[in-house]
Structure 1
Amino acid sequence: MAPPTGKKASLAMAKTVPVFLVLIVAYASYVVVGPLSVDYLLNPPENVPPRIAAGIAIPIVWVFLLCPVAISWLRLLFVVFRDPGYLPLGEEKNRHEPPQEIWMRDVFVCDQRGLPIYCQHCHNWKPDRAHHSQDAGRCTLKMDHFCPWVGGVVGERSLKFFIQFLGWSLLLSTYAMVLMAYFVHETRSNVQWIITLAFGGFFALFTLGMILNSVWMVFLNITTIENIDRTSRTMLLAVLLPPDLQISCGNESEMPLTSEIDHPSHSSYFSYVDSSRPMRRLARSPYWKGTVTYPLSPDTNRPPLPAPVTRTFAILETPPGMNPWDLGTPWRNFTAVFGHHFHQWFMPNRHSPCCDHSSGISFYPLGPDFEWLLEDVGLM
């Protein structure tokens, strides 16, 4: 089936706009090096003294700023076009049983029945924070937005490179704007300088707004899509019951019911039952919506013994505006995207730490608000 007209237009624009940007940068580079540096500063017209130092320094600074713009942009395009974090397309027949890799984690986003979120378009179960892009026609991990300026979807794998590209572009555009404003004020007659000044001013203001908004959302650990209803949004989380409650539900097993925990803040919740400790009781909380036990149906293709491990989850509804992935401080949220090393903040050499999904606790690290929710319902 052919894609809708709107989707065709978005994809066509995503392929066209990057070429348009290359042409603008090429034109600005030509004006800075040719008409300005060579023709005006090094070989000036009559009655204008040559300025050799400025004629040499200006293009050197331009190239110095242009290189990181080009490197970050090419890195961004490589990720966006090669693998922006698309989820694989599934088959309709697999929609009845969620994959084990989702419910073997201790916490995941679910619906009212305790099932992971299912995409009707991609026919696949979505991990936490994945979103379906109507423009690209695919589900993307931690999708932020569809950006025609960079040729496609900005998400988990490309957000860091996108912000780095914006930052370096802001410096280059500001340099072009200030440079051309000075010489336009001096001569007031060169059309090429005026055009370059207009381009520099537009992109300086545009990238400044984009980078301020993007960094602000990084500090909050939210995406552009999540920010739309940030203050009112609620979600359902399937949270693995602690061992003592698993036993009370009849799910005692010799095999571990939880993964290895690498964060001390979860130790009280995921610790194994202590016989000397009284059985905990669940609080009567409005956020408790029920339970669900996995696997939903027995696997008929496996031997009868040993018995399959069952995992019972509480279905909890978050309060309006709660972000379970907010790590508590802007610094922790920032380093989850940009890393802990200073050079990683500026150069696009590595993916974000949040791209690592090896933890058995949840797809993304959980923060203090999640701990508060567990305490409210009596799971801690």
Structure 2
Amino acid sequence: MSNKLAQTQKKREFKTNLIKYQDNYMNMIEEQCLQHSIVLDEYQKQCARNALTGMAESLKAKGKEFSDPQMDQSSVTDILQTVSTLRLNAAAMPREVYFITRNFQRDGKWMTKLEMGIEGDGNDALLRHFGVNINKVGAPWLVREDDGFEYPEYTGFQVTPPRWIRGGIGKVVRVVYPLLLNDGTTEYLISERADVKPNLLAHINNNLRNETFGVVKSRYEEKVTDEQREKMDEKKAEILAIARSHEDLESILDDPKLDKWISPAWKGDNREQMIIRKMRNNAVKKYPKNFGNAFVAASYASMDDDYKSVQDDIDNEPRRVIDITPEDEVELELLPALEEKEQVIESEVPSVEREF
């Protein structure tokens, strides 16, 4: 009986604190949006409140809360600005966004920040709200191996629609989004199963970011030498080479040498749903969007995976003095940008709580 009372008391305290956080953060977000000529409507405010609840639950699962001194408050306000201006609802079913916690170092001290990602119908919602010249977004076609399918044909401005005959058997091999445009014409966004391979490679790459392979205790120690860093980078390159050598997505997922750097969200019963979600995201996220406000556009850009990758480097990479000789002509080789950021496997930096 006493345990039930204690649990009830904790739930009451959680709800009471959540109401306080909502009042404080909502006032702050509304003021910031007004500074950028944005007046939040009731649905946008509800999106922000739902996001706060989701973030609070995410922190609670880690034994943390918004008021913790090591909490990066800017990550909270950034997320609230993003979900409210982009109309992304954490309480929608299927969900449109998810939240994760991440530990990082700032000035030698460990901090906690929150991050958000799009899931489920999140990209569909963005397409409906902000897609250029879009009148209606049709339900996605999940085309399976044994289905009949004919690709659309394009002759000048004329489009012959794709043809899909459902068979209902086999893995989903492509996703098709039919779009009805404002001028009455139609467009079809198509993503193939093979297109998910780069997403998985980037996921593995990201999970290798903090891996030390036993060379040092932490990759971010100031005492890490260039030789040690080179050894870690060589090992990372070897693992990525193994992953890239596989011809298809399934062979990467089934390779025991790579299992350590692939999160549970890609495995077991989750595997097929993850692949379908990636195909859906790949199909719609590149379609042009008009946000009508530079601040809203910046909120969308902050969710871009390349932006997040650079921000991670800023947060985590130790500041090192690099000796450059100006007289030497140096040819810079651009590294491929990360395509996806997924759940990070825990090494010395336990970062991600879960992935939906």
Band the TM-score falls in, shorter-chain normalisation: under 0.3
**Greater Rg over alpha carbons, structure:** 1
> With structure 1 as the length reference, what TM-score do the two structures score?
0.21
Specify which structure has the higher proportion of strand. Answer: 2
